[in-house]
Chains A and B, each alone.
Chain A
């Protein structure tokens, strides 16, 4: 058997730290950031029955982070009585979005067709965003399960972005940028973001310039949103793992730097 090296111990340490923290199930308080609060307040401010388009612009790989983000904001929207239209501009997000909308709608007793509809995937996201600005009906003649657009009570009054209060892009990449560059800039639709933590700084300039109206980011954002709506979920629990992993990484950085400076001093002495 090969001998374990320093890096193997760091891997093992990470696994132990995350597992133990999750088992302990410690409750930590989360301070709500102004970014997350802005998204919450916007959805809260819309009159009940407003039509929101939710775009699942992510892949399956980011599901552990995307699920709590999406669930928290979908719960809020359904609880407020908003009507949701689900779309997906990445093929892998299609099934996830369908499942997430279905599960969350069931929690609040919302009906498919009148309270929410899932339209599914369209290839080439730029073309799809632009085409929906002209006509959502022409872009999606049928819903995800193949039923005609006009069959649904919710969709009969929705022609294009003019009939949608906002588009919420749930993304793990740069797809939200296209919603702003084509949906917001060309058709003036309000764009909201619910993105993974790694993408937060990408969207900060758009947030500052008001091209993006509001944004929540990462597990931290999900935990903050859960606190705002008063419903516990995967965000708060995921934050335990994330917080312990962050502490562990900081510890490794400190240890690595101490070792580096000690070695450098010894080198100078020699």
Chain B
């Protein structure tokens, strides 16, 4: 029963959502709206679950003395933002907004900017024309890099057009193939979940 009931619910909701997609009837739209509301509510609860899980895990590790400083900073961040929001609100020029704009955003941008460092290092050490496909990739990358800067046109007026051609044909063909593959994969996985062949979401076979 513990397995059959969730599987039945999953099948029922899968079929209902699939069928209502093709209907404009008032009842179908009402069912759709109600399910979407519940979907958002369930998702909101998963966020709460995530917060508690993060807090419990870090408190336990602080007690054990593992990476204590980092975990305390993480917990302080988790606690301080809702506290600031509750006391002073989330409007512009509040401490909450100040923390977001002057602490969180710059820190995240800094971490993201490290990518440039890795790209610089990789371009020197790993981007080699070892074979014909590697050489084609290297030349394409160089053309794209030049075209995505303001200096592409300085070397040749044709360069931006060549870059657009790479983007519109070989790149798009590969991307389409990937997207079609993802689509077919999603479809088969959904069907497997709905009919109960794929059951890992239940917590695995025991």
A-to-B contact residues, CB < 8 Å: 6-7, 10-11, 13-14, 28-31, 33-34, 59-64, 92, 95-96, 98-99, 102, 122-124, 127-128, 130-131, 134-135, 138, 144-145, 186, 197, 200-202, 204-205, 208, 218, 220, 223, 239-240, 242-243, 245-250, 252-253, 255-257, 260
Q: How far is the CA of A92 from the CA of B146 in the complex (A)?
A: 32
Within the complex, the shortest CB–CB distance from B87 to chain A, in Å, comes to 15
Whether the Cβ atoms of A204 and B172 lie closer than 8 Å is: yes
| Per-residue interface assignment for chain B, residues 120 to 155, with 1 indicating a CB less than 8 Å from any chain A CB and 0 otherwise | 110111111110000000100110011011110100
Q: How far is the CA of A248 from the CA of B151 in the complex (A)?
A: 12
Main secondary structure of the interface of A (DSSP, over half): helix
**Residues of B contacting A60 in the complex (Cβ-Cβ under 8 angstroms):** 100, 104-105, 108-109
Q: How large is the interface on B (under 10, 10 to 19, 20 to 34, 35 or more residues)?
A: 35 or more
Whether the Cβ atoms of A14 and B150 lie closer than 8 Å is: no
Whether the Cβ atoms of B179 and A253 lie closer than 8 Å is: no
Beyond A59-B108, A124-B40, A134-B32, whether A11 also contacts B121 by CB under 8 A is: yes
Beyond A61-B111, A127-B39, whether A11 also contacts B175 by CB under 8 A is: no
Q: Which 7 residue pairs spanning A and B have beta carbons closest together?
A: A243-B149, A28-B150, A124-B43, A61-B108, A61-B112, A127-B39, A252-B124
Whether the Cβ atoms of A99 and B117 lie closer than 8 Å is: no
Whether the Cβ atoms of A257 and B129 lie closer than 8 Å is: yes
Whether the Cβ atoms of A205 and B33 lie closer than 8 Å is: no
Whether the Cβ atoms of B172 and A253 lie closer than 8 Å is: no
Whether the Cβ atoms of A253 and B138 lie closer than 8 Å is: yes
Within the complex, the shortest CB–CB distance from B184 to chain A, in Å, comes to 15
Whether the Cβ atoms of A123 and B124 lie closer than 8 Å is: no
Is B63 on the interface with A (CB-CB < 8 A)?
no
Whether the Cβ atoms of A6 and B124 lie closer than 8 Å is: yes
Whether the Cβ atoms of A127 and B43 lie closer than 8 Å is: yes
Which residue of chain A is the closest to B177 with respect to CB atoms? A205
B-to-A contact residues, CB < 8 Å: 21, 29, 32-33, 36-37, 39-40, 43-44, 47, 89-92, 97, 100-101, 104-105, 108-109, 111-113, 116-117, 119-121, 123-130, 138, 141-142, 145-146, 148-151, 153, 160, 164, 167-168, 171-172, 175-176, 179
**Residues of B contacting A239 in the complex (Cβ-Cβ under 8 angstroms):** 149-150
- Contact among A128, A130, A245 with B116 in the assembled complex (CB-CB below 8 Å): A245
Which residue of chain B is the closest to A223 with respect to CB atoms? B150
**Residues of A contacting B109 in the complex (Cβ-Cβ under 8 angstroms):** 60-64
**Residues of B contacting A124 in the complex (Cβ-Cβ under 8 angstroms):** 39-40, 43
Which residue of chain A is the closest to B119 with respect to CB atoms? A249
Which residue of chain B is the closest to A243 with respect to CB atoms? B149
Known: A99-B97, A123-B43. 16 other contacts (CB 8 A): A10-B120, A31-B160, A63-B108, A124-B40, A131-B37, A134-B32, A186-B21, A204-B172, A205-B175, A205-B179, A246-B151, A247-B151, A249-B119, A252-B124, A257-B138, A260-B128
Within the complex, the shortest CB–CB distance from B80 to chain A, in Å, comes to 15
Q: How far is the CA of A127 from the CA of B34 in the complex (A)?
A: 11
Whether the Cβ atoms of A11 and B151 lie closer than 8 Å is: no
Beyond A204-B171, A205-B179, whether A99 also contacts B128 by CB under 8 A is: no
Whether the Cβ atoms of B92 and A10 lie closer than 8 Å is: no
